[in-house]
Each structure stands twice: as C-alpha cells, then as structure tokens.
C-alpha cells in the first residue's frame, strides 16, 4: 500500500505540478439565423487568400422534408462574404434520395447523392459539382438496375433511408462500417441484415470510394466504386467473400492515395475457430481490392481478444490499431498494433501493449476494483515526422428506444449518446507504447444535442490538445483526479486540456457559458493551428475560431 501511495503521489505531481496558461485566441463571427434549426459542418477548406470555405449539412422536416447544404465563404476575420444554399430537390419518381458524402478540392465541392428512380427501375448515384462561383452541374457516377441488384443479392435503399432518419448525418469519414452487429459483443446475439452504403475520402482528397453492402444468403458482397476528385472512374468491381461462416462481418473501408486500391477490413468467425482454446474465436481479414486482383492478409488475435481494430494508411504503410483484452471482447486492457505495407505482403510488426500503471491510476485511482475501458472508438490518429503515433479514442455507447407504438400512432426512435472517458496514447514507429493517459469524462445527450458532447482534438508541436465542453468546472474525484461532466444546452463552458510529449497534462477554461452560445464541440474542424466550431442555441448560430498561439 505504501508503494502504491508513492506511485500515486508521483503521478499527481507529474500531472498537475506544472500547470500553466495555454496561449490562445478566439475569433467570432456575427450571430446569425438559418431557416432550419440544426446544421453541422460537412467540410471546411482554407482558400488561397486566407479566407475559409464551409459547407454545413442540414435536415428539414415536416411537409417539405429533405436535406441540403449551406455553403459559405468567410473572410479571414470571419465576416460572411458569400453564401449559397444547395437543396437536394428531386421529382416524385426519384425516391429515398440522400447525400452519401461531400468532398472539396481547390474551392470546388462535390456532393455525392443516391436515389431510386422508379421510371428507370434503377438505383442511381450522381455527383453535384458546385463551382467556385456557386454554379451547379450534375454527373451520374453509376447505376444499378433492379435486375442487376437482384442478381447480386438484396439491396434496400428504403431501409438505408429509414435508418438515416434516426440521426443527424455528419459526413463521417472514418470508414467504419456499421451495417452489421459484431457478435463478439456479449449483448449481441445476431447480426443486423440491413443494407448500407458507405463513402470514404483519402487523406489528400484526391480520390474517394463508395461501397454498397449487398446482402446474400451464402456469401458477403460489396459492390465497389472509386473515383478521382475530377469524378473520373478508377475502380468498378465487387468484393465477394465466399463465407464458410455466415457470421463474417465488414468492419472498415479505406482508399489508397492514388485511388487505385480499396482496403477492406472484415472479421471472420470461421467454423474451425470454435475449437480454439484461448482468445477470440475469430480473426480479422484485411483485403486489398483493385480492378485486376484481390489479396488477403490475416490478422490473428492469438491468445488475446480484439474488440476494435482500425486500419490507417500512411506513407505506403498501413497500421492497424485497436484495443485488446486478455479477458473478453468488451473490457479492454491495452492497445494492439499491426504494421504491413500497401501490398499486404505480411505483418511486419505486431504488438500487444497493456495499459500502464499511470493510465489505470487515471481511471480508477487506488480502487481495489478497477474498471476496464469499454466501447472504445478511435477519433484521431496523428503521425509525427519520425512516424511515432499519437492516438485518441473515446468510450462511446449509443442507446436506442422507441415510443408511440399503437394503433394509428407512429413509432418514434430516440437515440441517446453516451460519450465517456477519453484515451490518449503515444506509440513509437515500432508500435511500442510510450505512454497512455485516461481523461475521465461522463456525458450523455439525446438526438440532435449530441454534437455538444464528446470532443475535438489536435496536435501542435508534438503536444496534444482536447477541446471539451462541461456545464461546471472539472469535478475533483477521489485521489486528486479530475472528471469532465455533463453539458447543459443553456450553459456550456469550453475547456482546453493539454497533454505534452511526455504524457503530463493540465487544462484551463477557454470560454464561460453564461454569456456565450454553446459550442458544438464534437464537430470542430482543425486547419493548421486553429479549430473552427459552430455554436448554436435554438436557431441562433455563430462561427468560432480558436487559435493556439
């Protein structure tokens, strides 16, 4: 116990003994109102003259339901210079239309959408290109007739449209595929069977891929397309995984920088794995798909359990990062790392790093019954010049509930978002864990208010910064630890937490909530040394720029 107390004291001193003022500045636009209450950043781009181009996605309900984009140009001092509203208007015979993705390049915006044409009996994907002077042109990217879809399997755009209506779309570019449920999670007993469509853009914004998840009885199918940023086709093929196990699930999709390769991460529950004695009874399949070929690389959890894995492409290498456990698939005890090249030749390096003592103290203090990290999802992966990695992840859990079930009464689905502790860690180029810290946080909101919780992070000069909302000052827990708590829509204080290159951290309040509009902190967009946020209170909105000086 004495040694444990000494370790805790040293940890507290390293964490809070060097508190300092973090230099920053805040700029704000004028307060404005839109026709629709809620909108969220879909993209942002810095222009040659120093101004900013923003696209904000909105959904409209009621009789004139639909969606669209507010596209705006701001001067460097955040004055609105020019604006344009793009509405996804369709004739009655074009059903279930929705935006799949948005990307920009040199001031030109491509809005990719999909719909079902009743007259043509086809699912059609097209790009709406918005020029620098806000002129719109349209180009069909691909179509699948009803007969072609039937020959492939089953694809229901109506189901996707219905699922989309449950939550606000935000142009998530993670590549994570959520059409099926992971059977390794204890609360899940069978996979979802809904169709889905995904779009992912590469880091340089030079290419994007679209995948249609086709449901079949005896195999798993993705119809794959890829295009460059001039909308020229790069890939038109399909990936078929002849399933020996009907529980194989797709996990993630990425596209290479040249746009000629698509990478698919899947999880296999092969029948033969039931005989495995230790660890997860599954393995991950990482597949490179080009127009001409497909190549598969297996990632084996060995005696461990891997509940979450994500591929990251960087400089002709691919790193798969995840969280593992020696207990089960739900309670994570460390960070795993697998490195390969862009051709998937072999796993050149594999590491299973247990969470270190400072991390466990961060989360639990001196508790004799420590809690494990659960439901972790990667938010950011930053590569340093020497290929060291700085990662951040968050405990995310989404609850679904329904109301209004009855004769003549519609059913309304409510989503409750739980965003709890943050994990920040640094790994070297060989995958060895240098440090890991846990930031205590407990936040919960429902439906459209979920963008006010979670966080945005950035890296500057090797240090990591987290922008976090909280209604009150950070709560002091037992053993001197801190916890960021709930967020009130009427009162939300913006905080900045700083972790240096050695893993020591401090924090300060940037903006007090009483006299300011709450910040949609999870949808900040990082450009150079600044983060751009949209603030909202009812229909009032304001653009905010926080610069780290």
pLDDT tens digits for range 483-520: 888 887 777 889 999 999 999 988 898 988 777 899 99
Q: Among 324-328, 511-515, 534-538, 545-549, where is mean pLDDT lowest?
A: 511-515
Task: Quote the CA–CA distance of 253 and 173 in Å, as a whole number.
Answer: 10
List, edge to edge, every strand of the sheet that includes 463-470. Answer: 455-460, 463-470, 493-499, 505-511
What pLDDT score was predicted for residue 190? 43
Q: Report whether pLDDT(119) > 50.
A: yes
What pLDDT score was predicted for residue 4? 42
Any idea of the CA torsion for 279, 321, 356, 303, to the nearest 10 degrees? 10
Task: Note whether 270 and 244 are within 8 A (CB).
Answer: yes
Q: Report whether pLDDT(356) > 80.
A: yes
Pick the residue with more confidence: 49 or 251?
Answer: 251
Q: Among 94-103, 193-202, 480-489, where is mean pLDDT lowest?
A: 480-489
Task: Note whether 251 and 263 are within 8 A (CB).
Answer: no
Q: What is the CA angle 196-449-332, rounded to 5?
A: 65
Q: Report whether pLDDT(20) > 60.
A: no
Task: Quote the CA–CA distance of 9 and 199 in Å, as a whole number.
Answer: 48
pLDDT band for position 283 (50/70/90)? very high
What pLDDT score was predicted for residue 266? 94
Question: What value does the mean pLDDT take over residues 296-323?
Answer: 95
pLDDT band for position 5 (50/70/90)? very low
For the purposes of burial, counting CB atoms within 10 Å of the CB of 248, is it exposed (0-12), middle (13-18) or buried (19 or more)? buried
Question: What value does the mean pLDDT take over residues 433-440?
Answer: 96
Question: What value does the mean pLDDT take over residues 400-413?
Answer: 62
Q: Among 2-6, 61-65, 175-179, where is mean pLDDT lowest?
A: 2-6
Question: What value does the mean pLDDT take over residues 41-69?
Answer: 85
- Highest mean pLDDT among 248-262, 411-425, 514-528 belongs to 248-262
pLDDT band for position 195 (50/70/90)? confident
Task: Quote the CA–CA distance of 232 and 221 in Å, as a whole number.
Answer: 24
Q: Report whether pLDDT(138) > 70.
A: yes
Mean pLDDT of the chain: 87
Task: Quote the CA–CA distance of 336 and 355 in Å, as a whole number.
Answer: 10
Q: Report whether pLDDT(7) > 80.
A: no
Q: Report whether pLDDT(56) > 90.
A: yes
The encoded tokens of residue 161 equal 């449209």
The string of pLDDT tens digits covering residues 288-307 is 999 999 999 999 999 999 99
What pLDDT score was predicted for residue 21? 78
- Strand duo 482-484 + 433-441: pairing: parallel
């Amino acid at each position: 116990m004495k040694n444990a107390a000494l370790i805790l004291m040293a940890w507290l001193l390293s964490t809070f003994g060097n508190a300092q003022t973090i230099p920053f500045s805040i700029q704000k636009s004028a307060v404005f109102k839109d026709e629709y209450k809620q909108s969220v950043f879909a993209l942002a781009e810095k222009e040659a003259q120093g101004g900013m181009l923003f696209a904000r996605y909105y959904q409209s309900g009621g009789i004139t339901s639909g969606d669209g984009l507010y596209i705006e140009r701001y001067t460097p001092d955040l004055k609105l210079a020019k604006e344009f509203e793009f509405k996804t208007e369709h004739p009655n015979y074009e059903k279930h239309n929705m935006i799949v993705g948005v990307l920009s390049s040199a001031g030109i915006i491509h809005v990719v959408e999909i719909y079902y044409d009743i007259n043509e009996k086809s699912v059609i994907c097209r790009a709406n290109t918005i020029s620098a002077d806000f002129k719109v042109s349209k180009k069909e990217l691909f179509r699948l007739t009803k007969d072609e879809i039937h020959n492939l399997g089953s694809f229901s755009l109506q189901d996707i449209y219905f699922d989309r209506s449950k939550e606000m779309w935000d142009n998530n570019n993670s590549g994570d595929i959520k059409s099926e449920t992971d059977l390794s999670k204890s609360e899940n007993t069978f996979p979802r069977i809904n169709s889905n469509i995904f779009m992912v853009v590469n880091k340089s914004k030079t290419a994007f891929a679209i995948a249609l998840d086709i449901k079949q009885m005896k195999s798993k199918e993705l119809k794959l397309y890829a295009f460059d940023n001039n909308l020229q086709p790069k890939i038109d093929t399909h990936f078929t995984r002849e399933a020996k196990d009907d529980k194989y699930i797709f996990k993630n999709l990425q596209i290479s920088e040249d746009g000629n390769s698509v990478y698919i991460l899947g999880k296999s529950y092969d029948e033969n794995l039931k005989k495995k004695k230790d660890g997860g009874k599954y393995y991950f399949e990482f597949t490179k798909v080009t127009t001409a070929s497909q190549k598969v690389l297996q990632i084996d959890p060995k005696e461990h359990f891997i509940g979450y894995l994500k591929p990251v492409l960087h400089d002709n290498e691919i790193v798969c990062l995840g969280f593992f456990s020696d207990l089960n698939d739900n309670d994570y005890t460390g960070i795993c790392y697998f490195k390969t090249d862009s051709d998937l030749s072999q796993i050149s390096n594999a590491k299973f790093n247990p969470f270190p003592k400072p991390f466990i103290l961060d989360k639990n203090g001196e508790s004799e019954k420590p809690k494990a990290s659960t439901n972790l999802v990667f938010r950011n992966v930053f590569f340093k010049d020497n290929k060291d990695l700085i990662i951040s992840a968050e405990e995310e859990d989404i609850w679904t509930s329904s109301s209004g079930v009855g004769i003549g009464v519609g059913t309304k689905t409510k989503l409750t978002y739980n965003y709890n502790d943050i994990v920040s860690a640094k790994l070297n180029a060989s995958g060895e864990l240098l440090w890991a810290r846990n930031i205590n946080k407990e936040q919960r909101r429902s439906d459209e208010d979920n963008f006010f919780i979670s966080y945005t992070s950035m890296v500057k000069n090797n240090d990591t910064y987290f922008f976090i909302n909280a209604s009150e000052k950070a709560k002091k827990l037992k053993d001197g630890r801190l916890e960021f708590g709930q967020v009130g829509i009427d009162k939300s204080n913006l905080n900045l937490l700083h972790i240096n290159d050695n893993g020591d951290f401090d924090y300060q309040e940037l903006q007090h909530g009483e006299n300011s509009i709450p910040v949609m902190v999870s949808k900040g967009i990082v450009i150079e040394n600044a983060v751009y946020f949209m603030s909202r209170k009812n229909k009032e909105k304001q653009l905010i720029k926080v610069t780290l000086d």
